[in-house]
Structure formats: structure tokens, C-alpha cells
Amino acid sequence: MKHLLRIAVLLFCLAPVAAHAVLPDEMLANPALEKRAEAIDAQLRCPVCQGESIADSGAALAHDLRLLVRQRLLKGDTDRQAVQYIVARYGDFVLMKPPLDKDTLALWAGPAVILLLAALAGWRFLRTKAPPAQELSQKEKDLLAKLEREEGGDA
């Protein structure tokens, strides 16, 4: 029972926990503006972490981007204008869901192409036949028969 408790505690400690990285000093006094800022933060990818939004990232650049989003909202930008301000400086890559266009086509099609190539390689591998076994020479047949007799005689 003691070991089960230790295992449970270990698993709990290792379980991924989504921690929002927005710091108290970043938060806006106006709850409505802060809610808008948090929604925008969730749409923007951290250029450092790449797999996290700026809302979830603890990177210094993500912190700066969160502050920038809040500054833009305080200046009166709409949500779209605030996002476009960031995109103008970092490109479509900073969007968690970049638009489908010629610049982002590889980003959108890449996983499908890789999956298709892997499936094709797997199909070709499975379709490849082993070369047919060659017929044993008479000398090899005699040697095999001799070995079988010796093996059978010992038993």
C-alpha cells in the first residue's frame, strides 16, 4: 500500500499542468480589457517556445508580447488591430492558426505530405518480396541428410 501511495504521488507530480504565465504585474485593471487581452494571448504563438501560446509561455519574449497586446488595447485598438500589429512584426508564424496562403502552404500541407510519404514507403516495403530461395545443390542435400541422420541417431 505504501508503494502505491508513492507511485500515485509521483504520477501526480509528473502530470502535465497547464500553467498560465500571465504575471500579476501584466494584468490590466479593467476586467473587460484583461479578458480581451487573454483571448488575444491565446491566439498568438510564442516565437521562442513555438508550441505554446504567449499566454502559456514563460519566455521573456512572450512576456513582452503580452505587455504589447495590453498596451495596444489601452491605446484603443480592436482585437483584430492588436493581433495585426504583432503579425506585422513577426509574420503569420506568430499566429496559433495561421491563414492558408502561399507563404504558409508548407506549414499546413507538411504533416499531410509526411504522412503520405510514410504510408507510401510502408506500402512499398510490404510489397517488396524476398528473393526466391535457391534450390540446394546435390552436395548440400547430401550434407543435410547426413546431419539429419547423425542428429536422429543421438536421440
For residue 73, being part of any structural domain is answered with: yes
Instruction: Indicate whether 35 belongs to any domain.
Output: yes
Among 12, 106, 28, 129, CA closest to 69: 28
Q: Percent of the chain at pLDDT above 70?
A: 82
> Into how many domains does the chain fold?
1
pLDDT of residue 24: 65
| pLDDT score, position 128 | 84
> Is 81 among the domain residues?
yes
Task: Please check whether residue 106 lies inside any domain of the structure.
Answer: no
pLDDT band at 15 (very low <50, low <70, confident <90, very high): very low
155 domain residue, yes or no: no
Residue 13, domain member (yes or no): no
Q: Residue 61: inside a domain, yes or no?
A: yes
Predicted local distance difference test score (pLDDT) of residue 29: 78
Q: Which three cell numbers stand for residue 64?
A: 513582452
Nearest to 43 by CA among 106, 87, 105, 2: 87
pLDDT digits (tens, 9 = 90+) for 79-98: 999 999 999 998 888 998 88
Domain that holds residue 50: 21-94
Does residue 3 lie within any of the structural domains? no
CATH of the domain at 51: 1.10.8.640
Residue-wise pLDDT tens digits, 39-61:
999 999 998 987 899 999 889 99
Query: For residues 51 and 63, what is the distance between their CA atoms, to the nearest angstrom?
Result: 16
Residue 132, Cβ density class (10 Å: 0-12 exposed, 13-18 middle, ≥19 buried): exposed
Q: Angle at the Cα of 91 (from 85 to 20), degrees rounded to 5?
A: 70
pLDDT at 3: 52
